[in-house]
């Protein structure tokens, strides 16, 4: 690797606690830089990661406490222009980069080729699957994913191999760069999972979403490849401008990697895959057909960069999983508590289906926090109705960002509750000032499985629910 920075730089992360920023802070620390940061608050698992790395973190915005002698400020997309520390950085003329620019500037500049995993759903799981294959088969990769893989609980690794796996988020890069992060990552492989309309606060239409992904696919050189989930019609539409070779993964006989005959197994699933005329068996310790598709896409990417197929399949069979992706958080009072990152209606729906597969004989309780601006929107009510219709009991918390929307734009939870009841799904709808744990607790009984779905902290819902169940048992 190239030694571009003979002296450590002093880097300040603003903010540091997000699922993209915290692993990047760890990666830049591993590169050799002095890293510190600030945030309005921290919560697991990223608070745990930063503690383990002994990265200094200050809680609370205060322009007067920005350290002196900084070489660069790394600004994430979670802070607006009017954040007091952002304003101070600009007023003082301090050098700054976005999170995505920092990846290119400090990491990709070392010379590794990037394998960028993009798409509306499945990015963290697919990028973790690919990183695991490369690491388990001796490829010594670097990687940066927006979660904590089960084998290292860090979300990053600095390796000496030729590849770097990066989770490529389509959300805006920063307040000064409204384009998707993945446009900064110079992909050798652009690996595209399912594509749907999402991030309604940033993209006005599905066409706008497709335009963003088309720009990513168009960046790939002819020596690289675009790997696409061909189950997704929008995914296929999003690669139409690619000039690099396309590797299609799907169920059709014309697909480069064909996946068929998926069937649930005791703790995951099995399916058949065909690659260049050879039929193989893919075993995966993750529930749900959507995860089998994620694994097939990761497998195709690994095979494209030269990993032997039998080694890759053996790695997938022992995949350790990812935090907050159907993660078992514990059991108390006979109630199993599971944590999942699902927040888009499609993701919530496949999570419920996977939970049904994994625990077919237990009552399924879904506690959903509409955390994102998309999730909070009334326009998605019908889609959430379909998704939550697979539960036995559904709690839908008050939308986290409802104050940023007009009243007639906010998800109509009363209507959702009535329509779910018509489908035989019991509902609990806490008020804005109610504690979802306290509201849900009287409705639970031994044998239940509670899956808490949120793209944020959910106010430590899973931990507090387990504590409450333990105290009441």
Higher per-residue confidence, 263 vs 171: 263
For 325, the token pair is 């992706």
Residue 127's region, left for phi above 0, alpha for psi from -120 to 50, else beta, is: alpha
**Phi, psi (5° rounding) for residue 415?**
-65, -40
Over residues 82-113, the pLDDT tens digits come to: 999 999 999 999 999 999 999 999 999 989 99
The phi and psi torsions of 66 (rounded to 5 degrees) equal: -65, 125
Can you tell me the distance from the alpha carbon of 292 to that of 259, in angstroms, rounded to the nearest whole number? Answer: 9
Is residue 277 left, alpha or beta, with left meaning phi > 0 and alpha meaning psi from -120 to 50? left
pLDDT at 202: 73
**Quick one: pLDDT band at residue 312, thresholds 50, 70, 90?**
very high
Residue 12 near residue 70, CB atoms below 8 Å: yes
Say how far apart CA 214 and CA 406 lie, in whole Å: 32
Examine the pLDDT at 318 and tell me if it is beyond 90: yes
Structure confidence at residue 200 (pLDDT): 64
| Domains in the chain: ranges and CATH | 10-99 (3.40.50.720), 112-317 (3.40.1190.10), 327-472 (3.90.190.20)
Query: What's the pTM value of the predicted model, to 2 decimals?
Result: 0.81
Strand order in the sheet with 34-39: 57-59, 34-39, 10-14, 72-75, 96-98
Lowest model confidence (mean pLDDT) among 98-102, 131-135, 237-241:
237-241
Would you say residue 203 has pLDDT above 80? no
pLDDT over threshold 80, residue 397: yes
Is the pLDDT at 6 greater than 70? The verdict is no
The percent of residues above 70 in pLDDT, for the chain, comes to 96
List the one residue out of 344, 367, 371 whose CA is nearest residue 355. 367
- Who has greater pLDDT, 115 or 205? 115
Q: Are 148 and 323 in contact (CB under 8 A)?
A: yes
Answer whether 191's CB lies under 8 Å from 257's CB: no
Cα distance between residue 411 and residue 246, in whole Å: 39
Q: Which of 102-106, 148-152, 376-380 has the lowest mean pLDDT?
A: 376-380
Segment 14-37 mean pLDDT = 95
CB-CB contact of 320 with 150 (8 Å): yes
What pLDDT is stored for residue 1 in this prediction? 53
pLDDT tier for residue 396 given thresholds of 50, 70 and 90? confident
Q: How many CB atoms lie within 10 A of CB 337?
A: 24
What pLDDT is stored for residue 358 in this prediction?
83
Separation CA 233–CA 251 (nearest Å): 13
C-alpha torsion angle, residues 174, 176, 181, 186 (rounded to 10): -140
User: What confidence tier does 351 reach under pLDDT thresholds 50, 70, 90?
Assistant: confident
So what's the pLDDT on residue 381? 78
Q: CA 387 → CA 35, 350, 357, 448, distances in Å?
A: 41, 8, 15, 19
Tell me what pLDDT residue 255 has: 95
Q: Residue 367's pLDDT band (boundaries 50, 70, 90)?
A: very high
Q: What average pLDDT is seen over the chain? A: 90
């Amino acid at each position: 690797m190239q030694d571009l920075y003979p002296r450590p730089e002093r880097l300040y992360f603003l903010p540091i606690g997000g699922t993209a920023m915290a692993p990047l802070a760890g990666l830049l620390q591993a590169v050799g830089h002095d890293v510190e940061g600030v945030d309005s608050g921290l919560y697991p698992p990223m608070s745990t990661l930063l503690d383990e790395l002994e990265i200094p973190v200050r809680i609370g915005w205060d322009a007067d406490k920005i350290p002196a002698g900084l070489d660069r400020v790394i600004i994430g997309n979670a802070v607006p222009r009017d954040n007091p520390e952002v304003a101070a950085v600009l007023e003082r003329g301090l050098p700054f980069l976005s999170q995505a620019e920092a990846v290119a500037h400090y990491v990709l500049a070392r010379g590794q080729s990037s394998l960028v995993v993009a798409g509306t759903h499945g990015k963290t799981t697919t990028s973790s699957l690919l990183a695991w294959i490369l690491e388990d088969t001796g490829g010594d990769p670097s990687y940066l994913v927006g979660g904590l893989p089960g084998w290292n609980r860090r979300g990053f690794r600095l390796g000496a191999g030729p590849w770097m796996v990066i989770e490529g988020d389509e959300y805006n890069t920063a307040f000064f760069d409204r384009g998707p992060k993945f446009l900064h990552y110079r992909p050798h492989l652009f690996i595209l999972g399912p594509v749907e309309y999402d991030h309604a606060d940033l993209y006005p239409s599905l066409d706008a979403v497709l335009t963003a992904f088309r720009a990513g696919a168009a960046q790939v050189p002819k020596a690289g490849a675009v790997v696409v989930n061909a189950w997704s019609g929008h995914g296929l539409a999003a690669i139409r401008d690619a000039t690099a070779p396309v590797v299609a993964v799907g169920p059709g006989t014309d697909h480069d990697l064909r996946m068929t005959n998926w069937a649930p197994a005791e703790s995951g699933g099995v399916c058949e895959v065909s690659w260049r005329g050879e039929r193989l068996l893919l075993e995966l310790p993750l529930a749900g057909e959507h995860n089998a598709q994620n694994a097939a896409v990761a497998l195709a990417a690994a095979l494209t960069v030269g990993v032997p197929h039998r080694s890759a399949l053996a790695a997938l069979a022992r995949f350790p999983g990812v935090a907050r992706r159907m993660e078992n958080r514990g059991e108390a009072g006979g109630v199993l508590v599971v944590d999942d990152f699902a927040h888009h209606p499609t993701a919530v729906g496949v999570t419920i289906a996977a939970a049904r597969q994994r625990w077919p004989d237990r009552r399924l309780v879904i506690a959903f926090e509409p955390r994102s601006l998309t999730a909070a929107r009334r326009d998605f009510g019908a889609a959430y109705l379909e998704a939550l219709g697979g539960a036995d009991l559904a709690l839908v918390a008050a939308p986290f960002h409802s104050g940023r929307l007009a009243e007639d734009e906010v998800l109509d939870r009363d209507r959702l509750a009535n329509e779910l009841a018509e489908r035989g799904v019991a509902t609990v709808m806490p008020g804005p000032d109610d504690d979802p744990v306290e509201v849900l607790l009287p409705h639970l009984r031994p044998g239940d499985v509670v899956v808490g779905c949120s793209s944020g902290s959910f106010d430590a819902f899973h931990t507090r629910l387990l504590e409450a169940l333990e105290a009441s048992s």
